[in-house]
Structure 1
Amino acid sequence: MTDASVPRTGSGPGSRPRSVLVLGEALVDLVPADGDVGVRAAQPGGAPANVAVGLARLGGRPSFVGGLGDDAFAASVEAWLTGAGVDLSLSARCSLPTALAVADPGDHGNTYRFHLGDTATFELPDRAAEAARFGAVYVGGLAAVVEPAAGVVAATARAAARAGLLAVDPNVREDRTLDPVRSLGRLRELCSLARVVKASDEDLVRLWPDAAPEASCRALAGEGRLVVLTRGAEGATAYVHDAPAVSVPALPVRVVNTIGAGDAFMAGMLTWLGTEADWDPDLSAGQARAMLEYAAATAASVCARAGTEPTAPVGV
């Protein structure tokens, strides 16, 4: 077993990638096959798993804590993760099937219907004691709100907040199987614990419906966090304490796919923070702009082709 706490040299915006513990779901997305909405293709996914693969593709060595089943879908998910270079030694396996997410891409983003109950995907092992070994800990996605995983995610997030850098992408999902009041409460707690929050404008409207997304970002940043607001094709904005906000546009690309673009953006952010800022989220305006540009280029690499795996930006 490799010691995941040891940094190594690799590709990325700097020369000192450091490891990230990624906690959450690895599931299977059923997406339209070759643009045919009547046919679905199985594609490994899940927001945290996408982030882990993105970190690995950008030169890092992430460790993933998730639940893996014993069906054919689980085998494909495991092959995808390990093939990218993600360490699975902290994950768990059990004799349950893999959760499914049925994706319906549309003009205004992607909607999902989920099949989550009685699956291995949310049988997360308790690895809270491992949090201090890593440069950063990432949580978010469905595992943050679906039991029994949600309790494990919360405990690990609290440990990470005490030990180092906790990064959260609330990635709010709505589904008939999810309790919206309890789910939003859990996600708000995670944001309150985090030093780094990346959220879309839609996430923030759902979490704090009585405030504009920019106001929610200001409130979170005013408590010492680095907060990044993403708006898809409209670009992204970083908020650091009381400093002026820093914005960058989205890179112009011929959009082929948007599934996983936000996760790629998060992987780009974390890669930049680890290699260029040594996990210090108190950035200058110039640093915030450089981080956003790197993350935007990472997201664009996903939008420009099929699949959810990013490529490292060149010349950013």
Structure 2
Amino acid sequence: MTGGPGAVLVLGEALIDLVPVGGDGGVRAARFGGAPANVAVGLGRLGTPVVFAGGLGGDGFARTIEERLRDSGADLTLCARSELPTALAVAEPGAGGTGYHFHLQDTATFRLPDLSAQAGLFGAVYVGGLAAVVEPAASAVRATAAAAAEHSLLVVDPNVRRDRTLGDDDGAAALRELCSLAHVVKASDEDMERLWPGADPEESCRKLAAGGRLVVLTRGAGGSTAYTAAEPPVSVPATPVDIVDTIGAGDAFAAGLLSRMGASGSFAAAPGPQEVRDMLSYASRVAASVCARAGTEPSAP
């Protein structure tokens, strides 16, 4: 296991996205996915030491997932393994973004290890997404996140998903609880609207930041803004790009943000305004590298 103050532990799901081919909903390609897995691959591609802790099954999809993670440089020592199948996410791209229908139950994907005892061995711990709201993974995520909040830098990316399989509130209560524990929250404007309905996303970010957090709000083509308790908000425009595919762009942004934080030593210290601007700019360029082509693997600016 590759731990240490410059390493990131990513706890969450690695699954398969079934994505329409050429706009034809009747023909779908199986694509590596899961927000935490995308972040782990992104961190590896950007040169940040990363340990991915997910649930890997015994089918062909699981072997594809493992190969992709290993090729990126992610350490898989802490993954849980079983002979159960891999979870599937059926992607439904539309004018308002990409929606999903999930096939999650009785899969290896959400049999996650409780890593609360190991959380303090890393500079940062990243959690969020489906694993934070789907049991039995959610219990492991909560325990690990609570330990990381005490002994490391806890980074939460809620990645709110809407689907009938997730319960009446789509897991929003669990994600709000994780945000309250976090030192860093990275969320889209849609995430914030779903977590705090009826509230202005920027105001919700300010309230979270007032508790001593770094809160980064992304708005797609509208760029990103960082909020802290002590300084005025810092905004950076989106990097111009000819868009081919936006799936995975938010995960690439998160990987870029974390990679830059680790490189500057900000896992252990509160970044200043100029450092925050540099991190946002770098993350924006990493996200643009994903939007410029099909696939979710970023390249370093």
Q: What TM-score range do you get, normalising by the shorter chain? A: over 0.9
Question: Matches of 1:96 and 1:172 in 2, distance apart?
Answer: 25
Alignment of 1:139-154 (within 5 A): 139-154=127-142
1:253 matches 2:251: no
Q: How does 1:134-213 map to 2 (within 5 A)?
A: 134-181=122-169, 183-213=171-201
Which position in structure 2 is the counterpart of 1:4?
A: 2
2:15 is aligned to 27
Q: Distance in 1 between matches of 2:35 and 2:8?
A: 15
Conserved 8 A contact 1:122-1:146: yes
Aligned residue in 2 for 1:39: 27
Map residues 275-294 of structure 1 onto 2, 5 A cutoff: 275-280=263-268, 282-294=270-282
How much identity, in percent, do the aligned residues show? 64
**1:212-231 map, 5 Å:** 212-231=200-219
Aligned equivalent of 1:79, options 62, 67, 85: 67
Cα RMSD over matched residues? 1.2
User: C-alpha separation between the residues in 1 aligned to 2:43 and 2:293?
Assistant: 18
Q: Greater shift after overlay, 121-130 or 219-228?
A: 121-130
Shift of 1:4: 1.2
Matched position secondary structure for 1:80:
helix
Shift of 1:204: 0.4
CA distance in 1, matches of 2:62, 2:290: 23
Letter of the 1:146 counterpart: V
In 1, the alpha carbon distance for the partners of 2:44 and 2:22 equals 26
* Distance in 1 (alpha carbons) for counterparts of 2:130 and 2:207: 25
Conservation of the 8 A alpha-carbon contact between 2:226 and 2:234: yes
If the length of structure 1 is used for normalisation, what is the TM-score?
0.93
Q: Contact 1:196 / 1:281 at 8 angstroms: preserved in 2?
A: no
Q: Is contact 2:160–2:170 with CA below 8 Å preserved after alignment?
A: no
Task: Pick the aligned partner of 1:116 from 91, 104, 119.
Answer: 104
Contact 1:273–1:281 under 8 Å retained in 2? no
After TM superposition, give the deviation of residue 182 of structure 1 in Å: 7.0
Partner SS, residue 308 of structure 1: coil
Aligned pairs, how many?
A: 301
Counterpart for residue 58 of structure 2:
70
In structure 1, runs of 5+ residues without a counterpart are 8-17
- Residues 196 and 301 (structure 1), Cα distance of their counterparts in 2 relative to 1, 3 Å cut: same
Specify whether residues 50 and 189 from structure 1 end up closer, same or farther in structure 2 by C-alpha distance, changes over 3 A only. Answer: same
- Find 2:260's aligned residue among 266, 272, 283: 272
Name the CA distance, whole Å, in 2 between partners of 1:85 and 1:38.
34
CA distance in 2, matches of 1:164, 1:98: 30
8 Å Cα contact 2:80-2:111 kept in structure 1: yes
TM (norm. structure 2) is 0.97
What's the secondary structure of 1:128's corresponding residue? Answer: coil
CA distance in structure 2 between the aligned counterparts of 1:290 and 1:280, rounded to whole angstroms: 17
Deviations 1:247-268 (A, max 9, x none): 1111111100111000000000
User: Deviations along 1:219-246, whole A, 9 cap, x unmatched?
Assistant: 0001000000000011000001142111
- In structure 2, the residue matched to 1:52 is 40
